A and B are shown apart, each in its own frame.
Chain A
Amino acid sequence: MKRIAWLFILALLPLSPLSAEAQTPEEKGLAIAREADLRDTGFADQSNQMVMTLKNRHGESSVRHMRLKVLEVEGDGDKSLSIFNRPRDIKGTAMLTFSHATEPDDQWMYLPALKRVKRISSRNKSGPFMGSEFAFEDLGSQEVEKYTYRWLRDEPLDGRDCFVIERIPAYKHSGYTSQTVWLDKQMYQPLKVDYFDRKKALLKTQTFGEYRQYLDQFWRAHDIHMVNHQTGKSTHLEWSDVQFKTGLSERDFNRNSLKRAK
């Protein structure tokens, strides 16, 4: 009898994915994260141009250009390649990252001036990407295991219905204690993220704009802002030339491929 009851419950579970009253906020948060992950699965590979503009409190700014290539990896973080174009001094420098959810990433960098690939061993996941306000952990693929989740409330943001979810990084050396995400209910993509630092003070706010859909499935923001509330500095990312399924493979994401990356 008991066993039958259990079977019943198990059988019912998949039928009530998001709406069940009995769901705890943690379960609901996780379910939403899973759904978001699911909807973004299957893009295989992606490539785009990125222009990064750094600004300080004074409005002084500096611009970097790069090309990003990402290979989707099932069951682990994605593999990505960043190839720097400008400033001129670092043209041809390329960085290969195998991201992991809770472990330090594996990283290699090719320095054309030295004509060598250097493996970097560090805990930089929490550190800034190219001196910007983005940390590596903000940029890498958002695996479900990267955080624990808690649904807070539903609330519209700029006229769009959102889930508001708190997520807590699982990575031990993360720079954050928590993040609050406004996730668009239609796209299952973030519109805004608040980052809270190690003393739980608001550190940064990231906003996402100009979402476009590719292959009738994958939404990508083309206009991303990150503002550091503590230092007054900000970084702006502009994406262009976004392509999916260009036929990239593992062979394009290893040490040797770094040298010929373009």
Chain B
Amino acid sequence: MLERFSRGVIRLRWLIIPLTLILVAAAGSGVKNLRFDSDYRIFFSEENPQLLAFDALQNTYTKNDNVLFVLAPKGGDVFTGELLQAVVELTEESWQIPYSIRVDSLTNYQHTQAEEDDLIVADLVEDPLSLDQTALDRIRNIALNEPRLKNRTVSPQGDVTGVNVTIQLPGKRPDAEVPEVAAFARQIAEKLRNAHPDIEIHLTGMSMMNNAFPEASIKDMSTLIPGMFLVVILVLGTLLRSLWATVGTVLVIFLSIITAMGLTGWLGIGLSGPTSAAPTIILTMAVADSVHILITFLTALRRQGLNRKEALLESLRINMQPIFLTSLTTAIGFLSMNFGDVPPFRDLGNIVAMGVVAAFILSVTFLPALISLLPVKVSFSRTRTGMAMERLGDFVVQRRNGLLWGMSALALGLVACIPLNELNDEFVKYFSEEVEFRRATDFSSERLTGIYQIEYSIESGESNGVAKPDFLKDVDRFADWYRQQPEVIHVNTLTDTFKRLNRSMHGDDPAYYRLPEARDLAAQYLLLYEMSLPYGLDLNNQINVDKSATRFTATLQNISTNEVLALADRAKAWLQANLPPVMQAEGSSPTIMFAHIGKRNIQSMLTGATIALVLISGILIIALRSIKIGLISLIPNLVPMGMAFGFWGIVEGEVGLALSVVTGMTLGIVVDDSVHFLSKYLRARRENGGLSSAEAVRYAFANVGTALWVTSLVLVAGFFVLTFSSFKLNSGMGLLAGITISFALIADFLLLPPLLMKLED
């Protein structure tokens, strides 16, 4: 049947080539439907419990997507007439940012102050250019002593300040709204920079982060894909030493990518950080199939002196089964990413799986049809790599015992280092330092305020209960506890507002900077204050509609997500030990969401990878028609992953979301090498009159060594190209996958053969 198929392909080549192009064009036209997702929430499945908790909190209070302008005057002092004037103007202009619903700055901060029986509520800074030094000093004094401002809107040294714009997206045009906000904010920042060259201005916040995702994706796709094509052409050109063979491969790759990305468009999958890596990965995957077919073909031309048609038929005969198997296992590996909890990585797995299937079909139909028409010539009889492979085979056979023990020791040693890895998912670090958002955010967190937060909605248990003195005291104790934690920079709590109001209602007497002691008094203060606030600066972001609960926010230093979770656990324990049951609350925030995501995904991906492993091993046992060999193959299939994670533990030591998918993803790829090696090995054992295991190893090295070496090199190069991604997610994933595949080649060359010889003799 295989024979008939192969002959059919060659005979119908004039039909296959145009038909392929038409089909690819049909699938590929879906590219026009591709869109970029710009919302960090896409990292969470709809049923993600941390997302649900955070959405509940955002629905109760104001949403907190935001744009934060960070202003650092070169003179090092925020409290000058000129700088404050810039802040006034920026505050005013920020109202123009699309979908802005609130602007908070140093100048529009609603300062309360007593004047006899008058309560004066006014912008902290008005008309700054007219202020003298005494007035400026007074403002500095108020700002740096106001817990709501210090470490949030102004740095404790008074050298950096921020203007925070709260954004509420209508969500009607998801991929257009965020870029609209970002473009407008940048325009304002640029105008401000031109007017005030002596102020350093940065833009950060959730909206800027959301915007950074598509921007970085587009940048990645326009640099990494061409880069990878270049690498592939160079490697193939050098190793295949055939122009037309290289052209054929590049065409197969190109058509595979078009097909997969087009289908992605038709399926309505959005592009995001992780999925933007898909073309590069498909590029890498698609190389292998063509290389196996072409290397056998070229060898047949060179060594056996067959003509083009015969050589192609021979190549298809030898390679059809292993290529089918490796494509199947690779696709299964990528499809196992669907077990994960993170939609963009599921999408990535599915897109690459489509690309892998497309590459397989193209490699066994389009490629031979095309090659049979091209004037492929053989320039010399034997390649240097071919000879080197035969020598390597001899070496492995001779030194089998030493290699077996040496490799086992190395593998065990590296596997033992796996626990050196620590879980961390700081989402800001998903972007490399080359991304503007990352630099702005680093600047902001170093100089102004942290970006990691834990938020609570604390319930009083009854309508209008936020005014209950006991409740306020308890919230205040919680704030005190949080402020004592070394990781905490700022605590935003309603109790500070109550204390300030109480003081202002008693003629600004500092002795009254404490919580009101009666419920009706507190409620009436709150009413008075609520009634005196101007447009956009209401209390909705701190108190719910029913006035039964209040929002409480702790801002943290740049700590690992493990430390964030540890702090949240400590806070929970404190709440349980000290506050009544009704006030118990779960901390939630994007920080908390991302802190859980790596762990959740690793757990679910392990299930996925295990199922994939069982499936793949079953397929190998059936395809290789040997339970024993199928089971032996488990070792070179699993060991490289263990070794890679151990190696990672030594050199990096941090794992997170990105690396949680590497296991499933590389499993399918790693298997390829052992499939090719074992299928050749078994062919030698079974076909050529039953060679000994040592002879069969030599045969395998001679026949598939070069192909394995070339494909692995391309794969490693492909994944290393990803390390140049603007997404640390993709670069970490690429690096670890590259390391895993390198270890896989080492294991297949140096561990598997000695093992076969040991167990088969």
Residues of A whose CB lies within 8 Å of any CB of B are 54-58, 60-62, 84, 87-90, 93, 95, 107, 109, 111-114, 116-131, 135, 173-175, 197-199, 201, 230-231, 233
Contacts and interface: CB of A to CB of B under 8 A. Distances in A.
Interface string B542-585: 01111100000000000000000000000000000000000000
Contacts of B168: 230-231
- Could you say which of A109, A120, A125, A233 has the most chain B C-beta atoms within 10 Å of its C-beta? A120
Given A61-B545, A122-B122, A128 B533 contact: yes
Contacts of B118: 118-121
Contacts of B464: 87-89
A121 B122 contact: yes
Contacts, number: 147
A125 B101 CA distance: 17
B421 interface: no
B195 interface: no
Contact of B117 (A88, A119, A173): A119
A127 B537 CA distance: 8
Contact of A230 (B101, B520, B525): B101
26 contacts: A56-B59, A57-B59, A60-B60, A60-B545, A87-B523, A88-B464, A90-B527, A107-B532, A111-B521, A114-B505, A114-B521, A116-B117, A118-B117, A119-B117, A120-B531, A121-B119, A122-B532, A122-B534, A123-B123, A124-B531, A126-B535, A127-B532, A127-B538, A175-B535, A197-B95, A233-B540
B53 interface: no
A173 to B, nearest CB: 7
B519 interface: yes
A115 to B, nearest CB: 10
A180 B96 CA distance: 20
B524 A89 contact: yes
A201 B523 contact: no
Contact of B521 (A113, A119, A198, A230): A113
Contacts of A113: 518, 520-521, 523-524
A131 B540 contact: yes
A112 B525 CA distance: 11
A120 B528 contact: yes
A175 B102 CA distance: 11
B518 A62 contact: no
Contacts of A116: 117
Contacts of A93: 524, 527
Contacts of A128: 530, 533, 538
Nearest to B468: A89
Given A57-B59, A114-B505, A199-B100, A127 B533 contact: yes
B95 A122 contact: no
B413 interface: no
Interface of B: 59-60, 62, 95-101, 110, 115, 117-123, 168, 170, 463-464, 467, 505, 518-525, 527-528, 530-540, 543-547
A199 B168 CA distance: 14
Contacts of B170: 230
Contacts of A57: 59
A131 B467 contact: no
A174 B535 CA distance: 8
Contact of A90 (B62, B110, B524): B524
A196 to B, nearest CB: 12
Given A130-B531, A173-B534, A175-B535, A60 B467 contact: no
B544 A123 contact: no
Nearest to A91: B520
Given A84-B527, A89-B464, A131 B538 contact: yes
A56 B545 contact: yes
B60 A58 contact: yes
Contact of A62 (B99, B115, B123, B546): B546
A117 B520 CA distance: 15
Contacts of A119: 117-119
Contacts of B519: 89
Contacts of B60: 56, 58, 60
B546 A61 contact: yes
Contacts of B538: 127-128, 131
A197 B531 CA distance: 20
Which residue, B97, B170, B523, B535, has most C-beta atoms of chain A within 10 A?
Answer: B535
B612 to A, nearest CB: 41
A11 to B, nearest CB: 46
A114 B512 CA distance: 14
A199 B627 CA distance: 71
Given A60-B60, A89-B464, A121 B545 contact: no
Contacts of B122: 121-123
Given A111-B524, A199-B96, A120 B119 contact: yes
B545 A54 contact: yes
Contacts of A55: 545
B97 A199 contact: yes
Minimum-distance CB pairs A-B, first 5:
A89-B523, A175-B535, A126-B535, A113-B521, A122-B121
Contact of B59 (A58, A87, A174): A58
Contacts of A123: 122-123, 534
B546 A60 contact: yes
Contacts of A118: 117-119, 505, 528
Nearest to B184: A199
A17 to B, nearest CB: 36
Given A111-B521, A114-B521, A124 B533 contact: yes
A166 B722 CA distance: 56
B546 A135 contact: no
Contact of A109 (B62, B115, B528, B535): B528
Given A95-B531, A127-B535, 17 more contacts: A54-B545, A88-B464, A90-B524, A121-B119, A121-B122, A122-B534, A124-B532, A127-B532, A127-B533, A130-B531, A131-B540, A131-B543, A135-B535, A173-B534, A199-B100, A230-B99, A230-B101
A89 B101 contact: no
Nearest to B546: A62
B59 A122 contact: no
Contacts of A88: 464, 520
Nearest to B522: A89
B520 A112 contact: yes
Contact of A127 (B95, B522, B534): B534
B537 to A, nearest CB: 7
B115 to A, nearest CB: 8
Given A118-B505, A173-B534, A231-B168, A130 B527 contact: yes
Nearest to B112: A122
A185 B513 CA distance: 56
A231 B545 CA distance: 13
B62 A120 contact: no
Contact of B523 (A90, A121, A197): A90
A240 to B, nearest CB: 22
Contact of A60 (B98, B518, B522, B544): B544
Contact of B530 (A87, A125, A131, A201): A131
A89 B545 contact: no
A231 B122 CA distance: 25
A109 B531 contact: yes
A129 to B, nearest CB: 7
Nearest to A56: B545
A116 B524 CA distance: 11
Contacts of B540: 131, 231, 233
A120 B121 contact: yes
A53 B547 CA distance: 13
A54 B543 CA distance: 13
Nearest to B103: A198
Contacts of A173: 534-535
A112 B524 contact: yes
A171 B709 CA distance: 77
Contact of A129 (B463, B531, B534): B531
Nearest to B525: A111
B117 A117 contact: yes
Nearest to A60: B545
B357 to A, nearest CB: 44
